Structure 1
Amino acid sequence: MADVASPPIPAEPAEPMKTDEEEQKPLVATEAAPETPAQEEHVSETLYIQNLNEKIKIDVLKQSLRALFKTYGEVLDVVAHPNLRMRGQAFVSFESTEAAQKALKEVNRFPLYSKPMQITFARTRSDAVVRRVDANNYDGHKERRDQHKKDTRYTNPLKRKFKAKRTAAEVDGAAAVPQAKRPNVQMPDEYLPPNKILFLQNLPESVTKDQLNALFAQYPNLHEVRLIPSKKDIAFVEYMDEGSATSAKDALHNHKLDGENKIKITFARK
């Protein structure tokens, strides 16, 4: 798969660490780097997405992201890696910065598979973008990226920090007494606190967006209905305020849209 553009790295980089394929990402600033005034947000054709649901299979996740973002413009590439250090992250490349800007504005914090996506612009162009918009310079772009990987393979401060942590963990683990793993207790959907986004389950696979719009538009302040193409039995319905969402939920929970299956409606996880 093609190398992807890199996201900005915060002053205190958080795990998971990035793979060699992400070495084009900027390194942590050194102490010698002078402070600069705040600048306007960097805009790129590629979006860097974090906080994705790690339990979703990579091929399903990529398909869902492509289907979700293609309404904002042509999607040139979607990159996600299955390895441990890159789980929960992905890159989506558009043919233009305008499409990427609109997608970021409207999709950021969208709860894909019950987790709100955290979206920023990537720091550099991805291979797919360069190949499309600047083909004459693609070979040079690729050569510089490959050389950067080689140069930073052993000097990248992020990798050094990760290696030090892993070594310390191995030493501590060898001497530690095994402890019972605490169960991961998650609040049932039915008891989630109210908010303006509803999560629909058990929908008929033949349901359409127009059907759901007509059903939920009976209640005031409907903002948007979002379907997930790769998961046809679920959807999200967003209202302008929490009160309107609550009214729709109370009225339509267990509604039989096709005369058979009852729709399960809960508040979406934040």
Structure 2
Amino acid sequence: FKFGSLPLPALGPANFEKSYCEPHRNFPVHSRSSFIDCYFRSKEHSVNCTAMADIRPNHTIYINNLNEKTKKDELKKALYAIFSQFGQIIDIMAFKTLRMRGQAHVIFKEISSATNALRAMQGFPFYDKPMRIQFAREDSDVIAKAKGTYVDRPKKHLLAKQAAGEKRKKPVPSRESKKARVDKPAQNRPAAPAVEKVNPPNKILFCTNLPEETTEQMLSLLFNPYPGLKDIRRIPNRPDIAFVEFESEGEATVARNALNNFKITPSQVMHVNYANK
């Protein structure tokens, strides 16, 4: 085997090194391949591939049953040393979180390299534990980006953590604060929004809250699109109000429904009601 620059004892038990690695260290490539085939046909390291049959070959192999006591950096270097013989490795991912401990992903540039690595290294005694290898269920992000098939995944765990944090931050009202709200004097409570009083319908509309610069021509532009416009009357010294008359009550209602609360300026809203009879 070609183990790179790492010392062999770091990759497995000493008895494996003596009984398998040393006698075959200088074998030609084809002999080493034959040795690998024979080695993994043995009963002790036979593999049931039925569980992997439904996962298509891809660039990434998933390895588990790794020694959980191995440091992350040491693990990645050792994995690179034993898997680089099968082809170019793009990345090795190993994590030390409780959920991902004892697992790793090795991403190859070529699918054929991943396939050969899976077949050859299945059950290999690595840090005193036989590796269990299968193809990853989907392409790694780096491969997906290279293929142009990458889709950003929602980070569910981050969203859940954020939601939990917000929930914790929200103060729980105490019994005293609830009682204080109940006993709060009416004058201190926020007033309910005033309900606009609508006069009985008629054919004359009463416009209020007009800007001082509003002219009759401006009002004409607003109301002219609505059928039946008859007259617009302004009140001397009251630029904020106007009366708009239509031919019929129905036509006045159409215009009122359309223009009530219309923003004449970005900060000023026109109110349109029926005039008092």
Query: TM-score per shorter chain, which class?
Result: 0.3 to 0.5
Larger Rg: 2
TM-score, L = length of structure 1: 0.37
More contact order relative to length (CA 8 Å, sep ≥ 6): 1
Larger strand percent? 2
Larger helix percent? 2
